[in-house]
Amino acid sequence: MNLETERLLLREWRDADRDAFAAIVADPHVMRFYPATRSRAEADAWIDKMIEGRANGTGQFLAVERKSDGAMLGLTGTADINFAIPTAPKLEIGWVLGQDYWGQGYAPEAARAALEHAFTQLNAPEVVAFTARVNLPSQRVMQKLGLVRDPAADFDHPRIPEGHPLRAHVLYRLANPQG
Ligand SMILES: CC(C)(COP(=O)(O)OP(=O)(O)OC[C@H]1O[C@@H](n2cnc3c(N)ncnc32)[C@H](O)[C@@H]1OP(=O)(O)O)[C@@H](O)C(=O)NCCC(=O)NCCS
């Protein structure tokens, strides 16, 4: 499955993406809203998990490629939420781009295609996005996509220790406009 936008391709992961992806998720600035940066082995395992998710139908995270020069910018897509959030349905949408590519609207452009795919091809009744409360850039992407914050669904991430500044999460939602 490939998705295409004006400037971007969302496509399957390739081995040739592994160096660029590892550099992105080893960058402390990119990862400042995650508990830690990722080692090369963890970056490879992350890609492997995205490929596995596509194979077993639990995830649709794809590589984002810029059409003009073939650069691999990062990831976006949807996936089943793999821990319990009582107030959320099954599907989340997410994104991570290398910092050289920020501020040009690439994340919302790519994610809009993934959202459309979730609604029209996966027939998801609703898609949510969540992030650390302090991650305002990611919340801007959610807002640009038309997702709306549901303060009643704020939650503490179960995998982040109590007292950690990234534990408090916010959740945004959008129902499938096709009903
Ligand atoms: C969140 C992210 C994907 C946004 O991608 P993007 O393509 O830059 O998105 P946009 O161009 O629409 O910018 C979104 C917001 O990012 C912020 N932003 C833009 N350029 C930035 C920069 N160079 N440095 C810091 N923040 C920046 C702005 O708040 C912007 O909002 P605005 O357009 O209203 O000014 C990107 O910042 C990223 O990969 N962050 C690290 C990973 C992450 O936190 N992922 C989400 C986990 S839930």
| Contact of 75 with 60, CB cutoff 8 Å | no
Fold of the 3-175 domain: Aminopeptidase (3.40.630)
pLDDT score at 57: 94
Residue with CA nearest ligand 1 atom 17: 137
Ordered by start, the domain boundaries in the chain are: 3-175
Give 139 Cα–ligand 1 centroid separation in angstroms.
9
Residues in the chain predicted with pLDDT less than 70, given as ranges, are 1
Q: What does the alpha-carbon distance between residue 62 and residue 49 come to, in Å, rounded to a whole number?
A: 11
DSSP per-residue string spanning 113-153: HHHHHHHHTS--SEEEEEEETT-HHHHHHHHHTT-EE-GGG
101-139 burial: b if 16+ Cβ within 10 Å, else e: beeeebbbbbbbbbbebbbeebebeebbbbbbeebeebb
Give 56 Cα–ligand 1 centroid separation in angstroms.
30
- Taking the CA of residue 102 as reference, the ligand 1 atom at the shortest distance is 8
**53, HSE (Cβ side, Cα atoms, 13 Å):** 20
Interstrand relation of 91-97 and 126-132 (parallel, antiparallel or unpaired): parallel
Q: Which residues line ligand 1 (CB under 6 A)?
A: 30, 33, 94-97, 102-108, 131, 135-138, 140-141, 144
| Contact of 24 with 78, CB cutoff 8 Å | no
pLDDT score at 86: 76
pLDDT score at 77: 98
